Structure formats: structure tokens, C-alpha cells
């Protein structure tokens, strides 16, 4: 499952000034043809399935995969193709869209904290608490709807404070056995345009596109700035950001697969060891069955 590509250019491991324009949205293909792509993905899927089985049996760690990206970046497809071999019992997927009235009556981390993965499981967030420092920051009026007291909403430090809250949460999760793996699927403005047109041309994909998607596209620069600030402020050694070149969906899925495998392989886990006492108990059970 080796790929001819270093992951280093895509990883942000510490807080620093980030400009997304300095990250590639496209890199040379990591696969030779469709057949080679399918073979690579099959190998990655099998390894993820194997490691997930150990994770479930070991029952000490949890893994949280966070997928962020602009519309059409390929989050749904990456989740579907990378995680297709995982046992549903050991995987939990949640998509976070516009918050409900109940969610707006709580702090900004409440709705995602309820969905954190249990020990032994892989949790997947399709969008996440990061929306609260992205769409809330880039889109005028969103913060005003969050029912915060005026003195909280108007604080000039609110975004830096939220970055800090997120960093503290992820540090807390890491110290309690949950590994947070974060992906930003990075596409170019031209590629997003092409994918929007694809959705118009394909009747089966018409439902994926609405006028509101174009209103977000008009704020492209604001979102690029919000993502740059967010990634730079919330990248840490234990919860780095992976800025994945996503103009080529197949390439992006290969890179995500490799990172997920690496994250699982780094965990110190194994199947539970059977004690001599338990072996004797199993022997007695066998005698009864026979």
C-alpha cells in the first residue's frame, strides 16, 4: 500500500500563519489507471477493516475523523469510498448541517460533543464544530442567530477564544484516548465551478445543488481566509490538519486512506489476551457442548 508521495506537504502540525493559496489543490496522480486505483483502495479498505476490528476488540481508544471542505469538495465520496469496508457496528457517521432551534439554545460545542465516538469505535464528522469558526465567521448574520448574550457576541476576541476552546477540547480528547484526525479537502474555484455544472447536467445530481450554494461561492475569499485562520490556529502535534489536494477525487481518497491507516497503526492496541483461567472455562464449555 505504498504510495509515491510524501504526506509532509499536506500536514500542518503546529499553530502558525497559514495561507491556503500556498497549498496545492492538485498533485500528480498516485494511480496509473482505474484498475490500479481500485486495487490501491481495496488494499487500504482491507487494512482499515483489519485495524478497526482490533480497535473494537481492544476497546481503549476511539478515533474521530473530521472532514471539512467547501461545497463539492468530495467529503461524502471520501467517507463512502475510504470507509466502505468498515463494520457498521464499529463506525458512527454524523453530518452537521444548519443547527436546530434546540442546538442554538446550547453552547457551540454541545451538538457535536453528544456525538463523540465511544471507545473501540471510529467516529466520522461530515462537517463539525469547526463550522462555528468557519461559516459563523465568514457569513454575516450567522453569529447573531446563535442567541449569545450581547457582551459575548460582540467580543473582538470571540474567534480566538473559540479556537482556544477547540484546542482545549481536542487536547482533552487526546488525553482520554480519542485520536482526532482532521481533513480539509482543498479544491480550486475552477474545479468547484465544474462540479456545480456537473450537478446541473446530471438529473440524478440536481438535488445536490441549490441557489444558496452559489451565495456561498460568492464569498469564496472570505471562506478561504476563514479556513486559513482556523487551520493555522487549531493545528497541533496530536491533532494536526491534513490539507488534501482534492481536485482529483481519486487522489484525495488515496491520501485520506493512507492517513487513516497510519493513524490506526500508531495506536498501541492488540486483541485482548486470553488468560489461563479463561482457557479452562472455554475447555469446560466445550465439554458441555460435546
For the chain, the structural domain boundaries read 8-289
Please tell me the predicted confidence (pLDDT) of residue 218. Answer: 87
**Rounded to whole angstroms, how far apart are CA atoms 27 and 206?**
29
Any idea of the CA torsion for 216, 219, 225, 230, to the nearest 10 degrees?
-20
For 82-93, the pLDDT digits (tens) are 998 888 889 999
Find, among 79, 84, 55, the residue nearest to 69 by Cα. 79
pLDDT of residue 191: 96
Angle among Cα 265, 269, 272 to the nearest 5 degrees reads: 145
Q: In the chain, what is the straight-line distance between the N-terminal and C-terminal CA atoms, in Å?
A: 44
217 — pLDDT class (breaks 50, 70, 90): confident
| 64 band by pLDDT with thresholds 50, 70 and 90 | very high
pLDDT over 70 percentage in the chain? 100
Grid coordinates given for 124: 466520522
Class of domain 8-289: alpha beta
Give me the residues paired with residue 185 across strands. 69, 244
Q: Which grid coordinates belong to 275?
A: 488468560
pLDDT for res 281: 81
Q: What integer pLDDT is reported at residue 4 of this predicted model?
A: 73
> What's the predicted TM-score (pTM) here?
0.93
Tell which phi-psi region holds residue 9, choosing left (phi > 0), alpha (psi between -120 and 50) or beta: alpha
Contact 56, 87 (CB under 8 A): yes
pLDDT in tens, 4-53: 778 899 999 999 999 999 999 999 999 999 999 999 999 999 999 999 99
Query: pLDDT tens digit string along 169-209?
Result: 999 999 999 999 999 999 999 999 999 999 999 888 888 88
| Higher per-residue pLDDT: 261 or 141 | 261
On whether the CB atoms of residues 56 and 90 are closer than 8 A, the answer is: yes
Q: What pLDDT score does 282 carry?
A: 80
Q: Per 3-state DSSP, what percentage of the chain is helix, strand, and coil (rounded to 5)?
A: 55, 10, 35
Q: Rounded distance, CA 163 to CA 232, Å? A: 10
Q: Rounded to an integer, what distance in angstroms lies between the CA atom of residue 121 and that of residue 123?
A: 6
Strands (E), the chain: 11-12, 62-69, 91-95, 122-126, 178-186, 241-245
Q: Where are the beta strands (DSSP E) in 55-177?
A: 62-69, 91-95, 122-126
Question: How big is the CA angle at 271 (ends 257 and 45), to the nearest 5 degrees?
Answer: 20
Amino acid at each position: 500500500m505504498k504510495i509515491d508521495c510524501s504526506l509532509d506537504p499536506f500536514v500542518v502540525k503546529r499553530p502558525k500563519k497559514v495561507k491556503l493559496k500556498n497549498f496545492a489543490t492538485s498533485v500528480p496522480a498516485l494511480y496509473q489507471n482505474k484498475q490500479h486505483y481500485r486495487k490501491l483502495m481495496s488494499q487500504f479498505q482491507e487494512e482499515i477493516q483489519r485495524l478497526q476490528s482490533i480497535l473494537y476488540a481492544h476497546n481503549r481508544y476511539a478515533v474521530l475523523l473530521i472532514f471539512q471542505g467547501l461545497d463539492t469538495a468530495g467529503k461524502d465520496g471520501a467517507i463512502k469510498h475510504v470507509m466502505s469496508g468498515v463494520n457498521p457496528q464499529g463506525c458512527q457517521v454524523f453530518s452537521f448541517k444548519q443547527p436546530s432551534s434546540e442546538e442554538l439554545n446550547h453552547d457551540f460545542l454541545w451538538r457535536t460533543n453528544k456525538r463523540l465516538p465511544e471507545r473501540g469505535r471510529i467516529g466520522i464528522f461530515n462537517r463539525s464544530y469547526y463550522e462555528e469558526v468557519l461559516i459563523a465567521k465568514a457569513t454575516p448574520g450567522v453569529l447573531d442567530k446563535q442567541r449569545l448574550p450581547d457582551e459575548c457576541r460582540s467580543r473582538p476576541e470571540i474567534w480566538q477564544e473559540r479556537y482556544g476552546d477547540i484546542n482545549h477540547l481536542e487536547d482533552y480528547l487526546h488525553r482520554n484516548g480519542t485520536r482526532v484526525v482532521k481533513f480539509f479537502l482543498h479544491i480550486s474555484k475552477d474545479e468547484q465551478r465544474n462540479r456545480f455544472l456537473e450537478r446541473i447536467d446530471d438529473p440524478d445530481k440536481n438535488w445536490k445543488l441549490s441557489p444558496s450554494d452559489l451565495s456561498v461561492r460568492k464569498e469564496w475569499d472570505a471562506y478561504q481566509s476563514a479556513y486559513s485562520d482556523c487551520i493555522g490556529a487549531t493545528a497541533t502535534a496530536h491533532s494536526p490538519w491534513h490539507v488534501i489536494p482534492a481536485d482529483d477525487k481519486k487522489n484525495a481518497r488515496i491520501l485520506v486512506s493512507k492517513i487513516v491507516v497510519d493513524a490506526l497503526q500508531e495506536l498501541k492496541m492488540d486483541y485482548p489476551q486470553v488468560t489461563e483461567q479463561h482457557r479452562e472455562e472455554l475447555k469446560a464449555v466445550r465439554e458441555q457442548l460435546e
